[in-house]
Chains A and B, each alone.
Chain A
Amino acid sequence: MRITCKQEHLARGMGIVGRAVSSRSTLPVLSNIFLGTEEGALKLAATNLEIGVTAFVKATVQEGGATTVPAKLFGDLVSQSPPENIQLTLDEQNQTVHYRCASVDASIKGIDAAEFPIIPTADEGHVVNVPAPLFKQMIEQVAFAAAVDESRPILTGVLLKWVENKLTLAAADGFRLSLRTAHLDHAVETPIEVIVPARALSELARIAGDAEGDIQLTVTPNRNQLLFRINTTEASPILYVELVTQLIEGKFPDIQRLIPTEYGTRTVMDSAQLLRAVRRAHIFARDAANIIRIVVADSEPGTPGLVTLSAEASELGENEEELIASVEGSGMEVAFNAKYLIDVLNILSSAQVALETTSASTPGVVKAVGSEGFTHVIMPMHLGGSR
């Protein structure tokens, strides 16, 4: 193998695949990056066996071939090399890559590419397209609500459901639930319903960056893997990126059953204002189990309503803040984990947010005013037996 490519291009490619490198693996080859030639480009690939990322970087291929090199060492070397052409030459005999960039002359010992796991590509299976910006936003609005703890694997995943032209993403960690639906221009022929690890989707959203094209989804024929292909523009030094992920097997909880269908009080507030107020309350709440108390005052129809946010840390002090709101329904009081509120307000795209509540012990529903399709459910907190 002998190829030449620009330092910036290679660095960009390493930035894309680098995160998929296994940090702690008993298999040495998994902490390596795959380097190979394909379709006249440099193919970079990394996998931790849960997800695999492949990026095709524009390059001049003088001679084909493939190997793997230690990811950290190679990545650091590339990123610290001058912005010149990099020439990579593989000595197949002893699996050593000679690296040349301007005055830099290095050799890197690698591991035979044959030992690297085969990462499936999008050659076969059921293919659908979704606009990258929309899909990225959907992921950002949902994936954070998935559980981090591995004890219930299903909850670490995001439900991806596509029936006709309606795409649904949903995640829940046992205490909150995030749901986003979108109607697309085209319908799928056969419905898709899979559980994708939230980590894989978050990584996809990161890689997609500001890509404007479509993301192509391919469900592999045996339905245990999902493949995403991010197409880039002509100008990009990266031809395209593929991310493949294992799917989580099992049955996702029935979401519709968990979302309240009615409410007693609907409070509409300014999203940014509310977020700032919650953040301030959190300064106190974080030393008191993150509890922030929301009191919606009774208000006459037609007059501005009042919402009071408060938090107290018994040994540190307390904080109270009032917000003007438009209140529909009767006054009420409820307590939530400040972190959950911050999480959802952070990803809200609308200027106004609606909080739908009924009682101190029933779920609170957060919705984006003016944009359909987003529903977030937060379970309230209470103080042992105090209500």
Chain B
Amino acid sequence: MPIKQLPPDVASKIAAGEVVERPASVVKELVENAIDAGATEIRVDVKGGGVTLIRVSDNGAGIPDDELTLAFAHHATSKLASADDLFALHTLGFRGEALPSIAAVSEVTVLSRPREAREGTQLRIEGGHEVARQPRGAPAGTIFTVENLFFNVPARRKFLRTTATENSAISAIVSTYALAYPERRFSLTVEQRQSLQSPGSGGLEDAIIAVYGVEMAKEMIELPPTEDSESGVVVDGFIGGPALHRPNRKYITIFVNGRAVSNSMVQKAIEQAYQGVVPTGRFPVVVVRIQLPPDAVDVNVHPQKQEVKFARSDEVFRAVQRAIRRRLIEAAPVHSYGRPSEPIGESGAEAAAPTGDWRRFDRSAYSGTGGAGERGEAMPPPAPTRPPTTEGRRDAAYWTQQAAARPSPPDVAPTDEEQLGFGDELRPDGTGYYDVAGSSRLPPLRVLGQIHKTFIVCEGPDGLYLVDQHTAHERVLLERFQTLRAEKRVPAQALLAPLTLELTPHQLALVEEQQAALLQLGFEIEPFGGLMVVVRSIPKALQQHADPAAAIAEILDGAIADRSQLSWEERLVMYAACRGAVKAGNTLSHDEMRDLIRQLEQTDLSRTCAHGRPTVVRLSQQQLEKEFGRR
């Protein structure tokens, strides 16, 4: 076949294929245009999975009559003037390919009126060819109707999935933008039924409620804008608490400069931040917005702009991972909404300047939660974290006293009493809420006893707490190991008679490679020829272990079999904590239980163990009262 230039309609269909892959991509392009046009109200209607009909209506700038035709020309855009502008983009679109691509593979009707124009223009294009154009009365903005998608590309049409699948892809796209632009109202109607309506209030939490529903939103924690002092990367959003996890990554939404992207590096940063918070193999629910200077990110690497490249990806990774991790540690189990939080991090002051989207609050009036000791002078006086050890009934007066000893709460009333979670406690008189010192930390608990030699039963300020003795101790040991290891301060006890062990080749290789890391953990292990090693000291935490030799083998095996992304050092720490922890089936004395609870109260992520399993389950006073018909 001789070489020849492709006819324009073939070329445009090929180009269209890059942009318009499926109905959802049409929705994406049109919604982005609406956003770039400054619309505050964006309405999406779809029928037949977007093949029959896609209509995107907005109240944006509109397209002047004389530019309407040009809008459908290739590489025609209002968003970019020179190549240099590519690196200082503030708009979502810029390639000037969307409209011609869509028009090439469908029947398009555009009705648009700029605000200042008297009347609008309706233009109809079928398969890329203008077929009708007439002036028409119209509301300010643009109504973009796409019908019979891929009518002239049967191959593409054949590869479309079921209507339901396409609808759900469209729904995902609109949801993402609703989250990205909480200040704009989005509505989506699928097959004439409304499936999404965001209020456009400007609050991300409202958008989250619209997209994920109230129940899920309750479980999420606000991540206030946090600026990484070194890189200037600002991260904010909402992050799911430990109880909120999903089997896949679909609920991780990442925005970079307002653009929804998928980026495996950011993904990884988020997952790492959740290490030990959600169970292994499960993924958190996260909406995270990353702001960085436009020149630090390259969005022009993918025709659909879903991928981005960062100039300094390590900085972005660190900023995201740190911000989320810190917030989780600080506030993990706080479920209530509308609670302002102090920005965290070294550059708290700059980051505190409220951005338009974020609820303003008076920092001085807020003396709430805190990762104890991290904030220096800004810290409120430490609240008591331990209940008096005297036995006996706690009456309302006791808890009132406890409440009085705490910092006063910010002047914000949660919207719903049912949103109470860990760390938020209803005052005994029911008038409001007070913070627990270090809000993710457990409230002071009074040990009542042990059941099944496995669970510790405690009374807390609001209800009954059940603590899994193994996972709780594991969490305590994990955090202790983590802090002490870095400072080379893990207490280790030398053995009276060195222990000789025979290892498997696998175990031996790990010991040889990680000898230093093991030593930091308190294991003084040296190869002793062949598969033998000699153990001279063990971590103090494992001193009471029934069989140190078995414990070492289990720790090594655990680290070897672990499939997480953690480093060897971290895995060894994790399994040492697991092996050192008291097992289910051990009878604990009252003092031991009290000691364990006290230590758990002081951990940063008290609600989950190293593997993300829960340590504490609460049966609230309300639930109890409900069960007993007192309410």
Contact = CB atoms under 8 A, between A and B. Distances in A.
B33 to A, nearest CB: 57
Of B492, B537, B547, most A-chain CB atoms within 10 Å: B492
B32 to A, nearest CB: 52
Contact of A172 (B493, B496, B519): B496
A225 interface: no
A291 interface: yes
A253 B492 contact: no
Interface string B539-566: 1110110110000000000000000000
Interface stretch (B188-196, B334-342, B481-489): B481-489
A240 interface: no
A291 B493 CA distance: 10
Interface string B504-545: 000000000000100111100000000000001101110110
Interface string A167-193: 000001111110000000000000000
A325 interface: no
B516 A382 contact: no
Which applies to chain B's interface (DSSP): helix, strand, loop or mixed? mixed
A381 B492 contact: yes
B494 interface: yes
B365 interface: no
Interface residues of A, number: 27
A383 B494 contact: no
B192 to A, nearest CB: 62
A386 interface: yes
Contact of A386 (B489, B495, B521, B547): B489
A383 B546 contact: no
Contacts of B414: none
B485 A381 contact: no
A151 B546 contact: yes
B588 to A, nearest CB: 15
A159 to B, nearest CB: 14
A149 B546 contact: yes
B484 A384 contact: yes
Interface in B445-495: 484-485, 488-495
A77 interface: no
B497 interface: yes
A150 B545 CA distance: 11
A289 interface: yes
Nearest to B373: A315
Contact of B492 (A149, A363, A382): A382
A211 interface: no
Contact of B520 (A149, A174, A176, A385): A385
Contacts of A377: 496
Nearest to B372: A315
Contacts of B521: 384
A324 interface: no
A381 B540 contact: yes
A326 to B, nearest CB: 27
Given A384-B519, A384-B521, A385-B520, A177 B485 contact: no
B489 A384 contact: yes
Interface string A321-357: 0000000000000000100000000000000000000
A385 B572 CA distance: 15
Contacts of A295: none
B441 to A, nearest CB: 14
A175 B494 contact: yes
Contacts of B520: 384-385
B493 A337 contact: yes
Given A151-B547, A384-B521, A175 B490 contact: no
Contacts of A177: 496
A379 interface: yes
Contact of A384 (B488, B494, B495, B543): B488
A149 B546 CA distance: 7
Given A151-B546, A175-B543, A383 B491 contact: yes
Contacts of A383: 484, 488-492
Contacts of A258: 496-497
Contacts of B485: 384
Contact of B494 (A149, A380, A386): A380
A341 to B, nearest CB: 13
A150 B494 CA distance: 20
Contact of B493 (A175, A288, A385): A175
B626 to A, nearest CB: 39
Nearest to A150: B546
Contact of B491 (A291, A363, A379): A291
- Residue from the set B488, B493, B539 with the largest chain A CB neighbour count within 10 Å: B493
Contacts of B492: 381-384
Contacts of A381: 491-494, 540
- Interface hub of B490, B495, B539, B540 (most chain A Cβ within 10 A): B540
Nearest to A335: B491
Contacts of B493: 175, 337, 379, 381
B489 to A, nearest CB: 5
Interface in B378-406: none
A150 B495 CA distance: 18
Contacts of B522: 384
Q: Which 8 A-B pairs have the closest CB atoms?
A: A289-B491, A384-B490, A151-B546, A379-B494, A385-B519, A384-B520, A386-B488, A383-B489
Given A175-B494, A291-B491, A379-B496, 18 more contacts: A150-B546, A151-B547, A172-B496, A173-B496, A175-B493, A177-B496, A289-B541, A290-B491, A363-B494, A363-B496, A379-B494, A381-B491, A381-B492, A381-B494, A382-B492, A383-B488, A384-B520, A385-B488
17 contacts: A175-B493, A175-B496, A175-B543, A177-B496, A258-B497, A289-B541, A290-B491, A290-B540, A291-B491, A361-B536, A363-B496, A379-B493, A382-B492, A383-B490, A383-B491, A383-B492, A384-B539
